[in-house]
């Protein structure tokens, strides 16, 4: 069977679209609502800018999966930094990507992760809108709703990287 050049080019173009549309620093963070571990709706807009009570400087949004080894290393670090970032006006939320709470609750308990806001993106819709291709992926969203920075994959000194980027959010 011979493929016509037009369909070949169209297939290639459509296949590259997700890469071209991946979220970049400076872009507006796509709005979303997900359930948290308490069964309440978490709306991104309620945690940024004028909608936020107090002095919100931004949000650190981390996508993880229970099967991801680098995520297992990163989650306890994020958990440990929540109380440090809070006085700076920075919140931390973690999202189980393509997993429901029953798939990752045991992992979080084993790792002692309880401080960040815990969300589930069971069907991966939010992760797709954010262009998540690697895990872990962490977005630093400023109070004006813009993506300030993105960390993709495992980093050798994640604690230093998180602190550095959080400091940029709080400026």
pLDDT digits (tens, 9 = 90+) for 73-124: 999 999 999 999 999 999 999 999 999 999 999 999 999 999 999 999 999 9
- Where do the domains of the chain lie, and which CATH numbers do they carry? 25-169 (3.40.30.10)
Question: Could you read off the pLDDT of 30-49 as tens digits, one per residue?
Answer: 999 999 999 999 999 999 87
The residue ranking higher by pLDDT, 171 or 120, is: 120
Partnered with residue 35 across adjacent β-strands are 41
- This prediction has a pTM of 0.85
Burial of 121 (0-12, 13-18, 19+ CB in 10 A): buried
């Amino acid at each position: 069977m011979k493929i016509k050049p037009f369909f070949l080019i169209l297939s290639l173009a459509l296949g590259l679209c997700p890469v071209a549309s991946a979220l970049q620093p400076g872009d507006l963070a796509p709005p979303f609502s997900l359930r948290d571990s308490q069964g309440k709706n978490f709306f991104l807009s309620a945690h940024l800018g004028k909608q936020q009570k107090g002095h919100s400087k931004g949000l650190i949004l981390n996508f993880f999966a229970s099967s991801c080894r680098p995520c297992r290393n990163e989650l306890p670090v994020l958990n440990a930094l929540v109380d440090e970032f809070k006085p700076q006006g920075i919140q931390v939320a973690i999202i189980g990507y393509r997993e429901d709470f029953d798939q990752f609750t045991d992992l979080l308990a084993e790792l002692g992760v309880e401080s960040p806001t815990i969300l589930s993106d069971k069907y991966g819709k939010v992760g797709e809108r954010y262009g998540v291709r690697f895990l872990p992926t962490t977005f630093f969203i400023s109070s004006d709703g813009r993506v300030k920075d993105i960390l993709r994959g495992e980093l050798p000194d994640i604690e230093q990287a998180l602190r550095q980027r959080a400091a940029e959010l709080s400026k």
